[in-house]
Structure 1
Amino acid sequence: MSELVLVTGARRSRAGRAWRFVRRTWRRSIHARVITITVTAGVLLTFVLGSYMYQRIADGLMDNKVHSAEQDALSKRAVAQGYFSANDKPDRASLESLVRQTVQSVASPGDDLSRRVIFEQGLAPVTQRLSKQSTGPKNTVVPKAMQEAVAKDPTHQQTQIVTVPRYVPRYINGVENGSGIGTGHISAVMVGSQVVVPGAGVYDLYLVYPMDTEEETLGIVKSAFAVGGILLILMLASLAYLVTRLVVAPVRSAAHVAERLSDGALNERMPVRGEDDLARLATSFNAMADSLQRQIRQLEDLSTLQKRFTSDVSHELRTPLTTIRMAADMLHDRRADFAEPVARSAELLNRELDRFETLLTDLLEISRFDAGASSLQDEPVDIRDIVRRVCDGYESLATRNHTRLRVHGRRPAVAPMDRRRVERIVRNLVSNAIEHSEGRPIDITVGSNSTAVAVSVRDYGVGLAPGDSARVFNRFWRADPARARTTGGSGLGLSISLDDARLHDGWLQAWGEPGQGACFRLTLPAKTGVPIARSPLNLAPDDSAVGRIMPQADSLTIGTRTAPGSTTYAAAEITRMEGDRS
């Protein structure tokens, strides 16, 4: 029984693999689809037309056979009736001998028609009973319906298509010797009528015309149709293959060139042959590639200039900023000696210099990311320690904003990370939460699993409008430009945080609803080189599936869903693309 189960399972597995291969080929190959559809249509068309023509030929052969059989039977009946009418010996022996001779004479193949003759008593009464005489197989039986039709209308011939045993007669000196051979059955035309035998009464005379020749003709026609149909289907398949190849080859070439272009081979082009539509497609594709190449080079030049400008300006501003800082610090330290307006100006100057210095530092960090010069200083760190340090640093700011920081997470969350960069990410997330919390508490949660550690910062303030979760990591983007800032940010913090997360092969994600607050979650791999399978923390509070699994790299997925209670929210899974940096 177990062996039978194993064999059945193996067969099902092979059948499943074959079905998957067929489905994959059907989806991926235009060649396969066009050839399959063409061959299927050809088979159906060939079958329908072949069946129609075969039936018409068969009907024509049948009609011709019936017509010739009726004409021949009419003349042979007249011959038989002549023999019987000329007889002047009414005794039984003489009549039996006459019937045998007449039957043999009528059945003799003196023309192109082969016929069998049956002489027997019908349904009409007779004065003298004569024996049944027939040529061909002795087991040939006249249908009852044929006998009744002959008895009902004795003045006309009755015709019926019957099935009789197959039989090939043998003749000696023109007389059938009864040693015919044959197997199976064959259709035949049976023509029945009555003859008058003087001294014996009215008897039935049946002439049977087997359709051997017609059957052979139909066999030849069927073979010809089959061979012709197969050749036609093969020709259609070959034609479909050639035509499809003419169309698919340029499309595949375009796909190959497009893949090469996407890989950075901007000089790749399609070959142009002829002047037809496919040549126009190749020409248009090449023109598009030329235009894209020019624009990409222009954008690369502009990006290079922008990065160089940012880096140069950032570095060049360091020297005058240092001088200004020294003068501002001196004025700020002596502000008590100044009049009130001058002292206030010194304080404003010092505060704005702090913001300017922060902006300059962020610009330098951005330029390092753009130049690919950033590197990690990995060490095993419990992310809870970083969260505690950040919360201690922002406790006074939270108090001023009437906000309470609530930290959750008892289990260790240790992972290799650059402490400075991760602490900068957490600082940015906490400061943003304080800025937008509207005085409500902020929940900071730490979690871990086998592949990741995570920290989420959840506030219950103004939240994010639909679509803002996809733009919140853009440089200098602000959800509400009219909103006054209290933390003195540069507008680059979340963008730098996203680059720091990507440098760790981690995720930085955002969720928010208007009036319901926002949640930012940082997820880092627990082991170097091991990708994150799932984040240990929820992103959206009412749907644990949102953001638990990160999409493929360099992708952006934004969805609007309806959670229980008909609450609509936007969730964004964000991984920074190279194009987003410029």
Structure 2
Amino acid sequence: MDTQTPTQPVARIEAPSSFWGLLRQKQWRQSLQLLGTKTAQLPVIRFFLSSITARLTALMALATAIMMVILIGSVTAHVSNGIFQKRLNIVLQDASLRTQSLQTSFDSLVVDSVGGVQDAAYTLISDQRDASAGAGGVGAMLLKDPHENRALAINEIIDPEQRSLITKNLRKAVQQEGGIHWQSVSLRNSQGDKVPGIVVGTRVVLPLVGNYETYLVYSLDYEQQTIYLVNQVLFLGTAVLLGVLTVLMAAVSYSILTPARRAAKAARKVSAGDFQIKLPVRGTDELAQLSQALNNMTTYLREQISDYEELSTLQQRFVSDVSHELRTPLATIRMAADLIYDERDQLSETNARSATILHRQVDRFDKMLADLIEISRIDASVAQLSLSEVDIASLVAGVVESNKALAESLGVEVKLETFGDTVAEVDSTRITRIAQNLVVNAIEFAESKPVQISVAGSATAVAFQVRDYGPGMTDMVAQHVFDRFYRADPSRKRTTGGTGLGLAISAEDAALHSGLLTVLSCPHQGSAFTLLLPRHQGEEIDDIPVQVENQDLVAARQLWANEHPEDIILSENLEESSLQVHQVRTDVPLGDEPIIGDEVLPRMPADLPPDILEATPAHPLPRLPENDSVIDIQGRIKNLESPGTEIPDNDAQGETS
């Protein structure tokens, strides 16, 4: 056999771009989707999204907080306006009295010089400032009316720090309209903090010098402190009330949703195989109806499981008994057929041809019976391994040599290549049977194209892969190739015959070795069947030989999925590995522990038949994508009920044994 590897282009699949990379590429929708995905992975967000109690409490707390903020805003505005209006009335009344008193004092003043008017003005303005202190007055100023044309004038009495409080608009109103006018201003108290204030202005007439303007400044510091105190009380009370309401809402929602949580926990146990649960039913509301419906469902499932156990036991017993009972008559038939076949040269041409056909069909019948007996042993959990150190490469080479005539008759070139140390602790008989099934299948489905066989070893594993370039399979077909009696295309002519049990038995043999048997296929691009075995029994497989990864097949699957998405189920991270595997295990620990997350696999109760106990989907190895595996051993359960399962022909034909 030729040991050269056919050159194949290796496709590289780029990893998904980062958020900033997508932004730089102006892929806005993809960047937002990626950002949303990463945000949803945050622990707080995941907890919020996974808990109805948390969402309900947060929503009610938010609604309560919004209502309280609106209430605080309206109360604060109402109180502030009320206090300000009341204070404004007091200030205007006080300012009116001070202005009248000041004008009366100026009218009764008897002076004969400007200096006397100046002294009197200082005294009166100072008195008014002191007198208004009881009403919150903090300043008084006297300014000359710019429209006064008299030649005589006195100096203006002003406070430099408060002079800027008197605006042009206020002075204009005082000068043109007369009367009392006011304006809100911002003052600074003794601590230097800004406080609200009011400036009240009016016009007065002084003897000898004419019209002047007087301005009184009032502080609202006390009122501002009152408003601050009210706001603090409101905010503190709101915070306490919101905290109490949040706790109460959380407690109420938690209590209300307790039946729903209990039902969810029971559903997880049911999915894990525990049908002995019974939920308490209190009341007649929707949650009580949910609990009652779940109780009814588990009761029905228990009854169905009990019926299925009985049916499965009868089916296993029937297959086992019939298989063993047929061995005796078959041995007699074989002896007679062998005698006739050995004497065929002495028979007529027609009888000789009949003797040859009889001999072949007896051989086929013998193989079918052997497969049925092996399946019955596996179902009865009595299959045993005879372990020894075996060179897998030499074993496979022997299988290839034994099928050389078949390959030549079909025009198929078989190429074998070995990488590294391929010695492993295995049962040589079972591994030979697996290799025989895979090689014969590949030759039959190769359609005169080459078949590449690779045997490679790593530190903890030995892998054997058979790669053909035939019609390939869709994922719908590939998911059933390890099912018993499955044929994707029953009309296909087979060269070697078969029972439809070859790949199913191979999967079971791989399981007995704690190994992996997988298939990766693409329509019109062929298939790659890979057997991965631990180098030593009882050890875990930590690495996979890179020689059995098929990047070209992965790339072909991606291209095919673009045009035929119904045929291919692509993994999310194709670039990680092209080897898609599930481990088939027979020693799965059983129990009724609740499922904690999506990665925890369902487990069956211990009282189910052995074939169901073995039908546990396996854990994928680290760093391997999850989707492209087709070893769905749970499909064997369906095959017990309908052993002749077939599906319509697809674009690509399935491979069976």
Contact in 2 for aligned 1:150/1:194 (Cα 8 Å): no
Displacement of 1:363: 0.7
Render the CA deviation track for 1:535-581: whole Å, top value 9, x for unaligned: 430246443855425357655999xxxxxxxxxxxx94133434534
Cα shift readout 1:350-377 (whole Å, capped 9, x = no counterpart) = 2212111111110111111112222222
After the TM superposition, which residues 529-548 of structure 1 pair with which residues of structure 2 at under 5 Å, given as runs? Answer: 529-536=539-546, 537-539=548-550, 541-543=552-554, 547-548=578-579
For each residue in 1:371-406, what CA deviation from the matched residue of structure 2 results, as whole angstroms up to 9, or x when unmatched? 222222222211111111111211222233333322
Task: Give SS of 1:455's match.
Answer: strand
Alignment partner, residue 462 of structure 1 = 471
1:51 to 73, 87, 94: 73
Write the mapping of 1:51-130 to structure 2, written as runs, cut at 5 A: 51-91=73-113, 95=117, 98-99=120-121, 102-103=124-125, 106=128, 113-116=135-138, 118-124=140-146, 125=148, 130=154
The whole-number CA distance in structure 1 between the counterparts of 2:630 and 2:156 is 101
Equivalent residue for 1:158, pick from 170, 181, 186: 181
CA-CA distance at 1:196 after TM superposition: 0.9
2:233 partner SS: helix
Deviation of 1:494 after TM superposition, in Å, equals: 0.6
Q: Measured at CA, do residues 337 and 224 of structure 1 come closer, stay the same or move farther in structure 2, by a change above 3 Å?
A: same
Q: Does 1:425 align with 2:415?
A: no
Decide whether aligned partners of structure 1 residues 550 and 35 sit closer, same or farther in structure 2, where only a CA change above 3 A counts.
Answer: same
Say whether 1:330 aligns with 2:353: no
Q: Which runs of 5+ in 1 are unaligned?
A: 1-18, 168-181, 559-570
Q: Does 458-467 or 378-387 show the bigger shift?
A: 458-467
**1:235, 1:246 → 2: CA distance?**
16
Do residues 577 (structure 1) and 633 (structure 2) align? yes
Which residue of structure 1 aligns with residue 167 of structure 2? 145
Kept in 2, the 8 Å contact 1:119–1:205? The answer is yes
Q: Is 1:285 aligned to residue 316 of structure 2?
A: no
Moved more, 524-533 or 150-159: 150-159
1:407 aligned counterpart, secondary structure: strand
Q: Which moved more, 1:538-547 or 1:227-236?
A: 538-547
Q: Contact 2:511–2:583 at 8 Å: present in 1 too? A: no
- Aligned partner letter, 1:382: D
1:502 aligned counterpart, secondary structure:
helix
Distance in structure 2 (CA, Å) of the matches to 1:493 and 1:366: 10
Paired residue type of 2:544: R
* Residue 358 of structure 2, aligned match among 349, 360, 363: 349
TM-score (ref. length: structure 1): 0.82
Residue 409 of structure 1: SS of its match in structure 2?
strand
Secondary structure at the counterpart of residue 121 of structure 1: strand
Does the CA contact (< 8 Å) of 1:462 and 1:515 recur in 2?
A: yes
Counterparts of 1:183 and 1:557, CA distance in 2: 72
The structural deviation recorded for 1:221 is: 1.9
Report if the CA contact (8 A) 1:499-1:576 is conserved.
Answer: no
* CA pair 477-201 structure 1, distance change in 2 beyond 3 A: same
Greater CA deviation, 104-113 or 472-481? 104-113
Q: How far apart are residue 340 of structure 1 and its match? A: 3.4
Question: Does the CA-based 8 Å contact 1:464-1:517 persist in structure 2?
Answer: yes
C-alpha deviations, 1:124-152, integer Å up to 9, x for none? 35665556668xx9954353425743564
8 Å CA contact retained: 1:557, 1:572: no
The separation in 2 between residues aligned to 1:120 and 1:145, in whole angstroms, is: 14
User: Is the partner of 2:167 in helix, strand or coil?
Assistant: helix
Contact 1:461 1:517 in 2 (8 A): yes
Residue 475 (structure 1) aligned to one of 484, 493, 501: 484
CA, structure 1 residues 516+118, in 2 after alignment: closer, same or farther (shift >3 Å)?
closer
How many pairs were matched up?
Answer: 536
SS in 2 for 1:508: strand
Q: Quick check: 1:96–1:130 contact (8 Å CA) kept in 2?
A: yes
Q: Partners of 2:421 and 2:164 in 1: how far apart?
A: 102
Secondary structure, counterpart of 1:461 in structure 2:
coil
8 A Cα contact 1:454 1:524, kept in partner:
yes
1:109, distance to aligned residue in structure 2 (A): 6.1
1:228 Cα deviation after fit: 2.6
In the other structure, the counterpart of 2:602 is: none
Structure 1 residues 197 and 109: alpha-carbon distance in aligned structure 2, compared to 1, 3 A threshold: closer
Structure 1 residue matching 2:389: 3-state secondary structure: strand
Indicate conservation of the 8 Å contact 2:53/2:254, yes or no: yes
1:491 aligns with 2:491: no
1:490–1:551 CA distance, 2 compared to 1 (3 A): closer
Identity %: 32
Q: Over the residues paired in the alignment, what is the CA RMSD in angstroms?
A: 3.2
Task: Give the 3 Å change call, closer, same or farther, for CA 318–352 of structure 1 in structure 2.
Answer: same
C-alpha distance in 2 between matches for 1:295 and 1:435:
41
Aligned to 1:543, what secondary structure does the other structure show? helix
Aligned counterparts of 2:352 and 2:112: Cα–Cα separation in 1: 162
- Structure 2 vs 1, CA of residues 411 and 163 (structure 1 numbering), >3 Å: closer, same or farther? closer
Is the partner of 1:286 in helix, strand or coil? helix
Q: Which moved more, 1:88-97 or 1:263-272?
A: 88-97
Counterpart of 1:257 (choices 266, 289, 302) is: 266
Q: Secondary structure at the match of 2:440?
A: helix
TM-score by length of 2: 0.74
Change (3 A) 1:462 1:543: closer
> Which string of whole-angstrom CA distances, capped at 9 and with x for unpartnered residues, describes residues 219-274 of structure 1?
23202221232033213312331233034422332232223323432111222222
Distance 1:70 1:325, change over 3 A: same
Amino acid across the alignment from 2:579: R
Q: Distance in 2 between matches of 1:123 and 1:90?
A: 21
Within 1, Cα distance between the matches of 2:365 and 2:64? 78
- Give the CA deviation at 1:107: 5.2
1:508, 1:574 within 8 Å by CA — same for their partners in 2?
no
The corresponding residue for 1:246 is: 255
Secondary structure, counterpart of 1:367 in structure 2: helix
Any residues of structure 2 matched to 1:36-47 within 5 Å, and which? Answer: 36-47=58-69
| Contact 1:469-1:572 at 8 Å conserved across structures | no
Deviations 1:186-221 (A, max 9, x none): 321110111112234322222222213421331232
**Which structure shows the higher strand fraction?**
1
Taking the TM superposition and a 5 Å limit, the aligned residue runs for 1:508-523 are 508-523=517-532
Corresponding letter in the other structure for 1:404 = E
* Counterpart-to-counterpart distance in 2, 1:184 and 1:410: 84
Q: Distance in 2 between matches of 1:183 and 1:332?
A: 122
For 1:538, give the aligned amino acid: E
Q: Is the 8 A contact 1:437 1:461 kept in 2?
A: yes
Larger-Rg structure: 1
1:360-399 alignment to 2 at 5 Å? 360-399=369-408
Q: Give 3-state SS (helix, strand or coil) of 2:629's partner.
A: strand
CA contact (8 A) 1:65 1:189 kept: no
- Displacement of 1:38 in angstroms is 4.0
Structure 1 pair 509/276, CA: closer, same or farther in 2 (3 Å)?
Answer: same
Q: Aligned residue for 2:279? A: 270
- 1:34 deviates by 3.7
**Partner Cα separation in structure 1 for residue 551 and residue 43 of structure 2:** 40
